[in-house]
């Protein structure tokens, strides 16, 4: 990885959650979500989330994965493909309502938020965790942004490495959001309409990034 490159972070959420995130002024970890009655539409596999709620983090601030706001290092996640292909129970809307909330490692640090990162899927037993930016070379930078990541006979660890994560403890303020990525112009119009009511969203650009979605 180019040490001078912007180190982008990608989180996918349902577009209907943008008003809730903006009203709260932050993205929150499951264990730090305010009890404010605001609606948040989940797009996650419940079995996976149950496992993440008890998986401990062995470095940095510690705790469990659910004490953190999770980001991927690249788009085109395995999770997005599962949503696209109808493999998540209770979800059947495809990719259009799914938007990317984009930040960067630099913005997380500037916001003074604690963090850790992994070299692969957070639930895999042999995934390693780090709290030292000098270890970023442990991330497979070619693979985390790749469109094609299936395991191969000569490399059956690709899917795990594709899902390397950067976790932010407790919450990340909206001020650390660099922008929003959407599938098409219709989604951009909807996102911009939702965000227009919130002063915190001023300056947050919504861009069509169709290349971040599956065909």
Yes or no: say if 99 and 194 are a contact pair by the CB < 8 Å rule: no
Among the listed residues 7, 11, 24, 52, the single catalytic one is: 52
Strand duo 179-182 + 205-208: pairing? parallel
What is the sign of the dihedral through the CA atoms of 188, 175, 52 and 10? Answer: positive
Yes or no: say if 87 and 69 are a contact pair by the CB < 8 Å rule: no
- 147 included as an active-site residue: no
Please report the pLDDT score of residue 5 as a whole number. 59
Report the alpha-carbon distance of residue 48 to residue 44 in Å, rounded: 8
- Write the pLDDT tens digit of every residue in 84-121: 999 999 999 999 999 999 999 999 999 999 999 999 99
Please report the pLDDT score of residue 4 as a whole number. 45
pTM of the model: 0.96
C-alpha dihedral over 117, 59, 43, 81, to 10 degrees? Answer: 40
Residues forming beta bridges with residue 100, ordered by sequence position: 12, 181
Q: Report the alpha-carbon angle 13-173-16, nearest 5.
A: 25
- CA end-to-end span of the chain: 27
- 135 included as an active-site residue: no
Please report the pLDDT score of residue 60 as a whole number. 98
Among the listed residues 160, 165, 188, 209, the single catalytic one is: 165
Strand duo 26-28 + 171-173: pairing? antiparallel
Give CA separation, 77 vs 31, 51, 186, 193, 214, in Å: 23, 19, 22, 27, 9
Yes or no: say if 57 and 77 are a contact pair by the CB < 8 Å rule: no
Please report the pLDDT score of residue 6 as a whole number. 78
Helix then strand then coil, % of the chain, to nearest 5: 35, 20, 45
* pLDDT, tens digit only, all 215 positions of the chain: 344 457 999 999 999 999 999 999 999 999 999 999 999 999 999 999 999 999 999 999 999 999 999 999 999 999 999 999 999 999 999 999 999 999 999 999 999 999 999 999 999 999 999 999 999 999 999 999 999 999 999 999 999 999 999 999 999 999 999 999 999 999 999 999 999 999 999 999 999 999 999 99
In this structure, how many other beta carbons lie within 10 angstroms of the beta carbon of residue 56? 10
């Amino acid at each position: 990885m180019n040490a001078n490159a912007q180190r982008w972070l990608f989180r996918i959420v349902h577009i209907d959650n943008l008003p809730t995130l903006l009203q709260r002024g932050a993205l929150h970890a499951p264990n730090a979500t305010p009890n404010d009655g605001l609606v948040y539409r989940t797009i996650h596999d419940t079995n996976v989330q149950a496992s993440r709620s008890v998986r401990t983090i062995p470095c940095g601030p510690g705790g469990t994965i659910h004490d953190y706001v999770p980001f991927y290092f690249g788009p085109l996640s395995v999770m997005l493909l599962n949503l696209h292909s109808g493999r998540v129970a209770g979800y059947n809307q495809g990719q259009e309502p799914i938007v990317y909330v984009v930040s960067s490692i630099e913005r997380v640090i500037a916001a003074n938020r604690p963090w850790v990162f992994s070299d692969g899927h957070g639930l895999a037993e042999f995934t390693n965790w780090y709290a030292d930016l000098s270890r970023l070379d442990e991330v497979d930078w070619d693979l985390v942004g790749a469109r094609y990541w299936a395991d191969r006979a000569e490399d059956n660890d690709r899917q795990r490495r594709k899902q390397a994560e950067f976790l932010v403890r407790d919450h990340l303020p909206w001020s650390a959001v660099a922008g929003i990525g959407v599938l098409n112009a219709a989604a951009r119009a909807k996102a911009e309409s939702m965000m227009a009511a919130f002063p915190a969203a001023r300056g947050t650009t919504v861009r069509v990034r169709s290349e971040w979605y599956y065909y």
